[in-house]
Amino acid sequence: MDTTTAQNSAKKGDFAKTVLMPGDPHRSKFIAENFVENAALVNDVRGIQGYTGTYKGKPISVMAHGMGCPSIGIYAYELFNIYDVDHIIRIGSAGAISPDLKVRDIVMAIGACTSSNFFNAQYPDLAGSYAPTPSYRLLETAVNVSRELGKEAIVGNVFTSDHFYDASKSALKWGQLGCLAVEMEIAALYFSAHQAGKEALGICTIADHVLNGEELEPWERERTFTDMMEIAIETAIKL
């Protein structure tokens, strides 16, 4: 077989030790074209574009992860366990469920509450509820970088949901418990990192507000989240 995995045509060694992961393949392409020097396409299976190049002289990769826990779970597992990646930073979009947030705010996830069965299915006999958390080193580095760049970032809990269209509106209840935003991948990413003994961090830009209905256009989500992108890539070169 020419490919390393069924989902990834990259060869071992094609990825840098740190990978930035947006959900949207178009955002992956945008980052590669606007931030990464000499970016080479190393994966395009299923349109999940992955690139490797350099930033300020240091190797860096960026690859999309698709939507939902199962999707990011596949790619994070392969990057950590097959491609020897040490750090993954998710740079995604999220919906605000806190009245204190506004569209375009940047949120760094200190933890991820979730209704997903992603890890329960693998540990059905585990007593208690698993609380996925990031690498503190990555979180602290990203916070310091955001301050150095003069870009505000809010650190707090997020809610990872398996449902984009949630008739029960359960995200609103998680907002009442202090979660800042709802998204669909961070809990699975943190679980995958802990399982592999690697490091992960989730950073999101608020693309819509669940409480007031404000939302950005798809092209804005793809091309205008440059503050978050800069924080993530500047964090990556410090690792």
Q: Which residues carry out catalysis?
A: 208
Cα angle: 196, vertex 201, 205; to 5 degrees: 145
Tokens of residue 226, six digits: 């440059």
- Cβ-proximal residues to 191 (8 Å cutoff; 6+ apart), any chain: 73, 118, 119, 130, 132
Distance of CA 82 to the CA centre of its chain: 19
Q: Hey, which residues does 111 pair with through a beta bridge?
A: 157
Alpha carbon distance 25, 30 (integer Å): 9
Residue 192 in contact with residue 80, Cβ under 8 Å? yes
Residue 104 in contact with residue 181, Cβ under 8 Å? no
